[in-house]
Amino acid sequence: MIKFFKSLPYHTKTALKSIARHLALTFSSASAVSVTLTLLMVFLVLAGNVSSFTYSIEDSLQIYATIEDTVSEEEISVLQSEIEAMDHVVNVTFSDKEQELENYIGNNEDEASQRLFEAYSGEGNPLKNAFIIEVDSGNNLEEVSAALQEREEILEAAYGGDSVIMLVRAMDGIRIAGGIFVIALSVLAIFLISNTIKSAIYSRNNEISIMRNVGATNGFIKMPFMIEGMVIGMIGAIVPILITLFGYSYLYNALNGVLLISMFKMQPVIPFAIYVSVALLATGMIVGMLGSFFAVNKYLRWKR
């Protein structure tokens, strides 16, 4: 192990030298890696945003629970902390009758009906005090709402019924499909990059057999090639990363951070673009390294 670390500077130097001397080869493989990573980047950005859209839609789903008029104010605050303590409940907001009425009035645009409803404020308010309950995931809406319904103090707990559940399912489906797509594309990218590296090394398999002839051990032969593959992956990641950082922030600013409607909030440039960049860099380097590892291994076996 100590020997391994001691030899690292030597291998790195050898690798960099070889990159410089095979400049054309380095450039062509790095640009092939660039193209693949750019493709991957586009889909990462898309999938990342679609998934955030679905979450923001889900987050806007709430349970609206009306409270029996017989429940006193003290009981309401006790009830609120009890509901807050329930599983899956993230936030509980209390909204009293007057507020509910104001919201209701605010929903009407024409002044005549607004004035009409204002007459109901005060003693004659037919609306109920209510809790607006946020749940950690759309999938738990049904469960929490049923639990609320069982309580005596709650008149009715509503979340929008089956259509909301279907919406939640659809969002889950979109996320899963996006995830599968990104994984499939990553596999494709890995395959393409490692093939590029493999063909770059193929042109040098003669070198590998010469090294063995001279007495270089397999590990000694592999190291510089692996570092070379890593550097090629790194160089190949530069352009896609620049596109991500500048392109995405340009797009974000141009669209004011939303896609079409305000419900589709885009992922903020920081940290999202940074995450994508790191993912691209890591993919390029790791795949480059493993690609050359396997390629050299293969050619090593050709000759004794």
Partner 1 sequence: MILLENVSKSYKNGVNALKNISLYIDEGEFVYIIGPTGSGKSTLIKLLDGEEIPDEGKVVVANTDVGSLKHKHVPLYRRNLGIVFQDYRLLPSLTVFENIAFAMECIGEDKLTIRRRVREVLELVSLEDKAKSFPNELSGGQQQRVTIGRAIANHPKVLIADEPTGNLDPEMSKEIMELLEKINEKEKTTIVMVTHDSTIVNNIKKRTIALEEGYIVADIKKGGYLKND
Site mask for partner 1 (CB under 8 A), range 29-68, x = bound:
----------------------------------------
What interhelical angle do 205-214 and 269-302 show, nearest 10? 60
In the complex, the smallest distance separating the C-beta of residue 10 from partner 1, rounded to whole angstroms, is 7
Q: Rule CB under 8 A: is residue 210 a binding residue for partner 1? A: yes
> How open is the CA angle 22-230-236, to the nearest 5 degrees?
75
Q: Rule CB under 8 A: is residue 212 a binding residue for partner 1? A: yes
Nearer to partner 1, 72 or 304 (CB): 304
Q: Rule CB under 8 A: is residue 22 a binding residue for partner 1? A: yes
Sequence-distant (6+) residues with CB within 8 A of 110 are none
In the complex, the smallest distance separating the C-beta of residue 18 from partner 1, rounded to whole angstroms, is 6
Strand partners, 89: 135
In the complex, the smallest distance separating the C-beta of residue 300 from partner 1, rounded to whole angstroms, is 8
Q: What is the sign, positive or negative, of the torsion defined by CA atoms of 273, 278, 283, 284?
A: positive
Per CB under 8 A, the list member of 207, 251, 257, 298 interacting with partner 1 is 207
Alpha-carbon gap, residue 33 to 236, rounded angstroms: 5
* Token couple for 222: 């592999």
Alpha-carbon gap, residue 291 to 295, rounded angstroms: 6
Nearer to partner 1, 6 or 152 (CB): 6
Nearer to partner 1, 56 or 218 (CB): 218
φ, ψ at 44 (rounded to 5°): -60, -45
Query: Which 3 state secondary structure label does DSSP give 198?
Result: helix
DSSP state of 130: E
Q: Rule CB under 8 A: is residue 216 a binding residue for partner 1? A: yes
Applying CB under 8 A, the span of 52-60, 186-194, 213-221, 286-294 interacting with partner 1 comes to 213-221
Binding residues vs partner 1 (CB under 8 A): 3, 7, 10, 17-18, 21-22, 207, 210-218, 220, 301, 303-304
